[in-house]
Structure 1
């Protein structure tokens, strides 16, 4: 019986949630990315019923000089709700019109309900998203608060009513302004991240295209020439024709090996491009990122493993570390290369997962090793060592400089 009841509850909740999400999408556009926040913010309407509570306690006459009526408040909520949700669906002049209508509703209700300043706070919150330069939005808020001050003075309400409204309205205004600026910067960083990846992929495709063109152009010319020569020698010198055909086979196999190596390069991740992507990922999340890239020439398989290790470590920092600073460093160490990524996050016990196990297995397949040190409250350090087949070879001077990009502001 209990099992059937639990299954029925889950089925009901599973069928109810899509309906609620559809209703939410009708009220507030999903493109705003605000989720349930606009619905929860309606909880501040409860302040409109404070005069009724004070009336029950016998404090309304002493504080405001009259007993507030409840019916104008209920009627104002009926008018407010359509304006509130319409403001989220409007932009520009449409949102300004809804904002001013909400403020006017507060002015009209103020004589019968001193807590109608709640509507002015809602109006000031929409002023921050009304569009246009910041000074213009501040002017809208200042004008609405000035109107409230005049009405408070005329109605001889306590001045603290205006002061409290002003403090809350200014805080809400700049809170919304900061939220919009953060979303704008995150969108710009995402576009930059996507553009970096697109340009890196385009450059890699062009390089592979040039390599394949040079390789296949020479090889196919040689194959065509030797095949033509073998065809001429078939009748006059069969043994020479066989030698030429064997040479064609050898050249074709060599070309196939080189083509496979070139195509593998398409799938090979580069440490430099992963560092650029890591910087965009972390700094878009508020983590300052520095890196140092030593002038080491790495084999393709080693570079691919180190790049994937870097990607996994940076992803863990972004998701779990709660760090403010991170650093990556690639340097030569004797007969090998060492990649170290550390952060100043929360640290703590490390639970081996698929990502960590994959990093270790890829490094060990090349004879390398992985070391992870994590101290609670002091961050995590990931160190990957891979032996190189020969001594580290310096790259040309123009590529051997250490690159330490500035941290995000």
Structure 2
């Protein structure tokens, strides 16, 4: 039976990756069905006139209601029509059967077409008006159905619009990462070809020559092999230098990556970097990895809406401050903090954490770079590169 309630890939929950908010909303809305029992009981209706029809109608309605979320989205209109039919049939026995029409009018907003949603709400309003007139119920019941369908449905439409935008953003970022990876692979391929193509050809030629001279001219063959050894060692050094450059983390690139990650989860981000920054590779790589870990913590755990990262120099120290307005309470030795602290300590620096519960988190990193970093005096004083939520540089 559980497979009936498993979301299909083309269902509402399947397309939205089964968001917790929507599942809770769907479950909590069903509490309105309690009124189907409380209402008639409060009116002292005889159980025999309404209880059995209500018990028979509820499983059908709940099944159709669940299919709106887990069934094919192209069939949502049919599921809503079934819910309306169930509600109208129950209304003949239970004076509170119109509650099923209210729930149907709200989930009708999940129809692939918003025009069909509005049309279905209008039809439900007309049917409710006719049923209320036929059974002598208040005609305002039709107004309740229409208003509930419009207001509740509008919130669902707005949520779906936001969810689609988030999905499009994730897809665009995935495509950007894919293209960046492809471009990087092509660059590495070109660099390796330029770096090793000529060298390996030279090694092959000299090795072949040394093989032919090995018996006839041993001394010359030794010289050729010594040249092969020298060329090979030189190529090895170049490969090591190239790999080191590939592995090097860049602060500017990390700030851009942080903006992309955080804005995807709805966090406004601003990053500041001194213009003309030139750090030793080991320091910049370690500080960039600390920034990456801190931003990852904000993305995964902080529940923040705003975050910032700033790098500047003061009294011969490289300082980096990373802050957010999230839930705070960051443990001193959790969520990757120990790794960040070890990286900073290896550079002879310090890492301080200020993270009061519900008041955000601020990380302050200080690393001595007086004799190693170079920043122009004017740039260090006034110039900055800003990475904002729009990704512009200023």
User: Could you say which TM-score interval applies, normalised by the shorter chain?
Assistant: 0.7 to 0.9
Hey, what's the Cα distance between the residues in 1 that align with 2:59 and 2:268? 48
1:406 corresponds to 2:389: yes
Hey, what's the Cα distance between the residues in 2 that align with 1:86 and 1:347? 40
Q: Which of 199, 203, 209 is residue 219 of structure 1 equivalent to? A: 199
Hey, what's the Cα distance between the residues in 1 that align with 2:178 and 2:283? 24
CA RMSD of aligned residues (A): 3.6
1:310 corresponds to 2:283: no
Hey, what's the Cα distance between the residues in 2 that align with 1:208 and 1:93? 46
Contact 1:335 1:391 in 2 (8 A): no
Contact 2:255 2:387 in 1 (8 A): no
Distance 1:251 1:373, change over 3 A: farther
Distance 1:86 1:371, change over 3 A: closer
Q: How does 1:252-267 map to 2 (within 5 A)?
A: 252-267=232-247
Q: How does 1:85-234 map to 2 (within 5 A)?
A: 85-91=66-72, 94-132=75-113, 134-224=114-204
Hey, what's the Cα distance between the residues in 1 that align with 2:330 and 2:75? 53
* SS of residue in 2 equivalent to 1:296: coil
Hey, what's the Cα distance between the residues in 1 that align with 2:212 and 2:320? 58
Corresponding position of 2:2: 24
Hey, what's the Cα distance between the residues in 1 that align with 2:178 and 2:317? 31
1:372 corresponds to 2:342: no
Hey, what's the Cα distance between the residues in 2 that align with 1:87 and 1:317? 35
Hey, what's the Cα distance between the residues in 2 that align with 1:153 and 1:107? 13
Describe the superposition over 1:247-286 as per-residue Cα deviations: whole angstroms up to 9, x where unpaired: 4323312221221232344444443443333223322322
Corresponding position of 2:31: 43
Describe the superposition over 1:337-358 as per-residue Cα deviations: whole angstroms up to 9, x where unpaired: 4433211223346331261111
* SS of residue in 2 equivalent to 1:157: coil
Contact 1:335 1:392 in 2 (8 A): no
1:382 corresponds to 2:367: no
Hey, what's the Cα distance between the residues in 1 that align with 2:97 and 2:139? 14
Contact 1:127 1:140 in 2 (8 A): yes
Q: Which range is displaced more, 333-342 or 359-368? A: 333-342
- Deviation at residue 141 of structure 1 after TM alignment: 1.8
Distance 1:197 1:78, change over 3 A: closer
Q: Which range is displaced more, 224-233 or 252-261? A: 224-233
- Deviation at residue 93 of structure 1 after TM alignment: 5.4
* SS of residue in 1 equivalent to 2:388: coil
Corresponding position of 1:80: 61
Distance 1:79 1:157, change over 3 A: same
1:53 corresponds to 2:41: yes
Hey, what's the Cα distance between the residues in 2 that align with 1:309 and 1:201? 22
Contact 2:105 2:145 in 1 (8 A): no
* SS of residue in 1 equivalent to 2:32: helix
Distance 1:156 1:320, change over 3 A: same
Distance 1:28 1:152, change over 3 A: farther
Corresponding position of 1:278: 258
| Superposition TM-score, scaled by structure 1 size | 0.76
Distance 1:223 1:331, change over 3 A: farther
| Superposition TM-score, scaled by structure 2 size | 0.79
Corresponding position of 1:19: none
Q: Which runs of no fewer than 5 residues in structure 1 stay unpaired?
A: 1-22, 62-66
Distance 1:55 1:68, change over 3 A: farther
Contact 2:169 2:264 in 1 (8 A): yes
Distance 1:93 1:203, change over 3 A: closer
Describe the superposition over 1:198-240 as per-residue Cα deviations: whole angstroms up to 9, x where unpaired: 2332232222222222221343355456657767887898667
Hey, what's the Cα distance between the residues in 1 that align with 2:331 and 2:64? 51
Matched length:
373
Q: Which runs of no fewer than 5 residues in structure 2 stay unpaired?
A: none
Q: Which range is displaced more, 204-213 or 309-318? A: 204-213
